[in-house]
Amino acid sequence: MTASQALTRLQAHEMAARLRAGEVSSTELLEAHLASIAATDTAIHAWLAVDEELARVAANAADKRLVRARADGAEALAALPSMLGIPVGLKDLVIARGRQATAGSRILEGFTSPYDAHSVERLDAVGAVIVGKTNMDEFAMGSSTEHSGYGPTANPWDLSRVPGGSSGGSAAAVAAYHVPVAIGTDTGGSIRQPASLTGTVGIKPTYGRVSRYGIIAFASSLDQVGPLGRDVRDAALLLGAVAGYDERDSTSAPLEVPDFAGALPADDDKAAAALRGVRLGLPRQYFVEGMEPGVEARVREAVVALEDAGAEIIEVDMPHTDYGLATYYIVAPAEASANLARYDGIRFGHAVRDGDVLANYKSTRDQGFGPEVKRRLMLGTYALSAGYRDAYYIKAQKVRTLIKGDFDAAFEGVDALVAPVSPTVAFPLGERLDDPVAMYLVDACTLPVSVAGLPGLSVPAGLSDGLPVGLQLIGKAWDEARLLQLGRAYEAVTATARWRTLEPADLGRAADQATGAPTLGI
Ligand code: GLN
């Protein structure tokens, strides 16, 4: 491994320490990561835009601040912002001034954002270096990143398989050492599921924890921004950066943000102690039909490891789990049908001008939206139409309350829930593309959590057939700090597991392909 590659293997919190110590510069870190992208992204296609020059300007500014602080002494160093000089990827659903914002859709091709999302303002405030925009399913609708209007992303563990979605670009970029951390969004599983399928850590915060200002809207009552990283401490660092009240999002919660990263011990013994006496609920209904035996085995082994470390495991019933999918696929498309009405060929991006106003509108949307988005808009419009609204939309909202009730009841007896993230490992590209329901089913274990607005963390829990399996920890509202503590504890008790030492198996192959023609484009 070259010195440049070795830099990309550091965790963000290690980078932060080295930057302060003057052992590495932000520019060196950035160049190492840009080289990593250049080496493997032809094959992986995690990025829709790499903004090299903007990133170089930010890295250079960070280096100047670091030099000055080192000259001024320990106090000045301690006062530096948490992510100063650290490269970060941004899902292309999050808008940033002067950068493209496509939401993975052709309908927004060529659109440049005039302002920053709240999350981007926060990233700037903590000194992070935004490397570019990552690939995603169009408007975050999907579980494989195959619904991107710009071609799919491949999984660094096996290039013939999906990285999950919709934040598949961010997950693959983190897994492939293109960036140590990246921002994703999760409406029904889009951070947790790709984290699970790429062996990375991802957290969907409680609804309202992170502002939705500047997030291109999919389903507004479900959308949340969250971090992906290669360990729990890095996910905590990035979550801490973007969380917090913002008056421009009326659903943003006016709550204190705990020091998520600061609360996590570096020492494994100390970290593991968080498990002693903690009550973890294991929901029977989350071991869904069709779950791969290898996935179930890894999750059950993880539960045993948690128990051995002192957690009390209590089986719980969540009787409405099964309705999560049906509820979500009424509520989310309904909200999407309203949110996506604004793409009319007049205000944003792609525009067709071949007739009168109505003809232009129809042609723009017909050409600009892909098949999955059209499917959702049809479904959502139908569910909201006169005569059907009560039967579908209102009914779904009532079932949503029942699902939330399952969680409320479970949390009376337990501190957190432990469950699978995805019933399968990463599946082959193309396998589920023509079967929307098969695609929807991969989110069976993440959707209920989103519908209830609760936080969920996905942490790697080993491999099945050489592919990553994730473990989901689900918390009470606003209990992200505890979830991160439990996730960190699980890392600690499995610190010596052999699978933790393995790198994504197809990184070498991805590098070999960089010189050839792109092999994706199915
Ligand atoms: N896969 C789910 C969907 O297609 C969830 C996507 C998301 O969380 N953005 O809607």
Express each pLDDT in 301-331 by its tens digit: 999 999 999 999 999 999 999 999 999 999 9
Residue 168: CB within 6 Å of ligand 1? no
Residue 223 CB–ligand 1 contact under 6 Å: no
Is-cis flag, bond preceding 458, omega within 30? no
Q: Does 520 score more than 80 pLDDT?
A: no
Residue 91 CA to ligand 1 centre (angstroms): 14
- Marked catalytic residue, from 25, 26, 170, 190: 190
3-class DSSP assignment, residue 7 = helix
Among 194, 83, 166, 87, smallest CA distance to 132 is for 87
Measure 258 CA to ligand 1 centroid, in angstroms: 28
Per-residue model confidence as pLDDT tens digits over 162-174:
999 999 999 999 9
Nearest to 426 by CA among 249, 218, 164, 233: 164
Tell me, in angstroms, the distance from the centre of ligand 1 to residue 140's CA: 6
Q: Which amino acid is at 493?
A: V
Atom of ligand 1 nearest to the CA of 191: 8
State yes or no: is 252 an active-site residue: no
Beta carbons of 121 and 245 less than 8 angstroms apart: no
CA 406 to centroid of ligand 1, rounded, Å? 22
Decide: 189 in ligand 1 pocket, CB within 6 A.
yes
pTM of the shown model = 0.97
Q: Over 60: is that where the pLDDT of 241 sits?
A: yes
pLDDT exceeds 70 at position 103: yes
Q: Which atom of ligand 1 is nearest to the CA of 218?
A: 9
Query: Is residue 204 over pLDDT 50?
Result: yes
* Residue 9 C-beta-side C-alpha neighbours within 13 Å: 11
* pLDDT higher than threshold 80 for residue 510: yes
Please tell me which residue in 91, 133, 204, 476 is annotated as part of the active site.
Answer: 91
The share of the chain scoring above pLDDT 90, in percent, equals 95
Q: Is 170 in the pocket of ligand 1 (CB under 6 A)?
A: no
Q: What is the pLDDT of residues 372-423, one digit of tens each?
A: 999 999 999 999 999 999 999 999 999 999 999 999 999 999 999 999 999 9
For residue 170, the SS3 value is helix
- At 172 the three-state DSSP class reads helix
What's the rounded mean pLDDT across residues 188-203?
98
- Residue 97: closest CA among 127, 119, 64: 119
142 lines ligand 1 (CB under 6 A): yes
Q: Give residue 137's pLDDT.
A: 98
> Cα 120 to chain center, whole Å?
15
- What is residue 40's predicted lDDT score, i.e. its pLDDT? 98
Kindly tell me the burial class for residue 497, based on how many C-beta atoms sit within 10 Å of its own C-beta (0-12, 13-18, 19 or more): middle
Indicate the range of 133-142, 340-349, 469-478 predicted with least confidence: 340-349
Determine the distance separating the centroid of ligand 1 and the alpha carbon of 29, expressed in angstroms: 33
- Whether the pLDDT of residue 74 is over 90: the answer is yes
Cα(438) to centroid(ligand 1), Å: 13
Amino acid identity at 492: A
Query: Which of the 8 DSSP states describes residue 215?
Result: B
Q: What pLDDT does 152 receive?
A: 98
| Cα distance between residue 69 and residue 66, in whole Å | 5
* pLDDT score of 517: 46
pLDDT at position 346 is 87
Q: Is 141 in the pocket of ligand 1 (CB under 6 A)?
A: yes
| pLDDT, mean over the chain | 96
Question: Could you tell me the pLDDT band of residue 515, with boundaries at 50, 70 and 90?
Answer: low
Tell me how far CA of residue 262 lies from CA of 9, 29, 157, 494, in angstroms. Answer: 22, 23, 31, 21
Of 87-96, 224-233, 356-365, which gets the smallest average pLDDT? 356-365
Ligand 1 atom with least separation from CA of 185: 9
Is 220 annotated in the active site? no
Specify the ligand 1 atom closest to the Cα of 165. Answer: 1
Structure-block tokens of residue 161:
């398989």
166 part of the active site:
yes
Q: Is the CB of 188 under 6 A from ligand 1?
A: yes
Q: Check residue 516 and give its pLDDT.
A: 54
pLDDT for residue 122 is more than 70: yes
What are the angstrom distances between the C-alpha of 415 and each of 129, 204, 366, 461? 36, 18, 48, 20
Sorting pLDDT into bands at 50, 70 and 90, what band is 522? very low
Cβ–ligand 1 contact at 198 (below 6 Å): no
pLDDT of residue 333: 98
Kindly state the tokens that stand for 149: 């209007």
- pLDDT for residue 303: 98
**Is the pLDDT reported for residue 518 higher than 80?**
no
Contacts of 139 (CB under 8 A, 6+ apart): 93, 103, 104, 105, 216, 218, 336, 340, 373
| Alpha-carbon gap, residue 131 to 96, rounded angstroms | 12
Catalytic residue among 26, 105, 113, 166: 166
Task: Tell the residue nearest (CA) to atom 4 of ligand 1.
Answer: 142
Question: How far does residue 420's CA lie from ligand 1's centre (Å)?
Answer: 17
